Chains A and B, each alone.
Chain A
């Protein structure tokens, strides 16, 4: 009981802290900027890496997300929503990059030819993910790898929960088929 109260109060303190930093950030305070970057960078880079499967590109996207968020902080109606706002920007930028990547031809067959049945899971997973459309891939990664709830996925992708549910079902089914195809079954 006491532990729960302590956790609750520390969460509240964090929220108040963040409110102050966001308020200062609105007025161009660079210390506040630095604080917010330090606070949110790990989550943003992790999500972007899991979505894009490329650490360097993920850092670029995270940086771009921070800059976009700071540039457009005036549009943010509620300072409490900063964290979600930043995360949404990051997810959207990742999806944009994935859409651009989709134009590149898939090299699924070449993996099979070169590595046969002893392909590492990692390579297969990346190839399978590459075959999925950006919205399905994002939904699948946010739910399966990032372990977000349906509500959180819906919020970060700005779609209704029903859409998340149906996309997730389609993505899982497609991923399974691609997986079997990659293993040559």
Chain B
């Protein structure tokens, strides 16, 4: 029983192998002998080769559409542009933000120089009467004389 199962396995392997390579005379003899003994394997091989031949016969070779190249090249150009945009966009955004910051700073500087003069504290305004009288201002010299 086991020997027969082993034979079936080998037969199946060889039946597929013969689609890829020339079998040796020994292998051909084995297959012939097995087919005589095992009807199931013979039927299975027949159906397999019929199915696989049908599959081979379903080879398709379509003609590409005439503008295939131009479509590929057009798409390639679009992708290249997108890629370069993607590459440079952070730099452009960064530069734009920096420009805005510089503009805002310049605007602020310009506004501060245009402030009305009465709002600007002068040195005199900060001066007040000294709490301690200034001795220099008193006329001691005159009283001594």
Residue of A nearest to B61 (CB): A46
Q: Is the interface of B mostly helix, strand, loop or mixed?
A: helix
Main secondary structure of the interface of A (DSSP, over half): helix
Q: Are A176 and B44 neighbours in the complex by a CB distance under 8 Å?
A: yes
Which of the candidate stretches A9-17, A59-67, A84-92 sits at the interface with the other chain? Answer: A59-67
A175 and B12: CB pair below 8 A?
no
A41 within 8 A of B: yes
Question: Do B73 and A58 touch across chains, with their CB atoms under 8 A apart?
Answer: no
| List of B residues within 8 angstroms of A179 by Cβ | 47, 50-51, 54
Number of A-B contacts (CB under 8 A): 97
**B contact residues around A176 at 8 Å (CB):** 44, 47-48, 51-52
By a CB distance below 8 angstroms, the chain B residues around A58 are 62
* Alpha-carbon gap, A150 to B19, bound state (A): 12
Binds A, one of B63-71, B103-111, B130-138: B63-71
Q: Please state if B65 and A63 are interface contacts (CB–CB under 8 Å).
A: no
Tell me the complex Cα distance, A177–B130, Å.
115
In the complex, whether B72 has a CB less than 8 A from a CB of chain A is: yes
Pairwise interchain contact B68-A63, C-beta atoms closer than 8 A: yes
Contacts of B71 in A (CB 8 A): 63
Complex: A55 Cα to B75 Cα, angstroms:
19
CB distance from B75 to the nearest CB of A (A): 6
Task: Mark contacts of B64-98 with chain A using CB atoms, 8 A cut-off: 1 yes-contact digit, 0 otherwise.
Answer: 11001101110111011001000000000000000
Asked if B68 and A37 sit within 8 Å, CB to CB, the answer is yes
**Contact flag A175-B55 (CB < 8 Å), given A59-B68, A63-B72:** yes
Known contacts A63-B72, A67-B75; A125/B58 CB under 8 A: yes
Contact A144 B47 (CB under 8 A): no
> Which residues does chain A contribute within 8 Å of B50, judged by CB atoms?
179
Residues of B near A124 (CB, < 8 A) are 54
**B70 to chain A: closest residue by CB:** A34
Q: Which residues of A contact B68 (CB under 8 A)?
A: 37, 41, 45, 59, 62-63
B16 proximal to A (CB < 8 A) = yes
Question: Cβ of B13 < 8 Å from any Cβ of A?
Answer: yes
User: Can you list 15 A-B pairs, Cβ within 8 angstroms, ordered by A?
Assistant: A42-B64, A49-B60, A49-B62, A53-B60, A58-B62, A59-B65, A66-B72, A122-B58, A140-B55, A144-B19, A172-B48, A173-B12, A173-B48, A176-B44, A179-B54
The 9 closest A-B pairs by CB, nearest first: A179-B51, A176-B48, A55-B62, A37-B69, A121-B54, A49-B60, A66-B72, A45-B64, A37-B72
Known A-B contacts: A49-B60, A70-B76. Give 15 more (CB < 8 A): A30-B73, A33-B76, A37-B69, A59-B68, A67-B72, A67-B79, A71-B79, A144-B55, A145-B59, A173-B16, A173-B48, A175-B51, A176-B48, A179-B50, A180-B51
A positions within 8 Å CB-CB of B: 28, 30, 33-34, 37-38, 41-42, 45-46, 49-50, 53, 55, 58-59, 62-63, 66-67, 70-71, 121-122, 124-125, 128, 140, 143-145, 150, 168-169, 172-173, 175-176, 179-180, 185
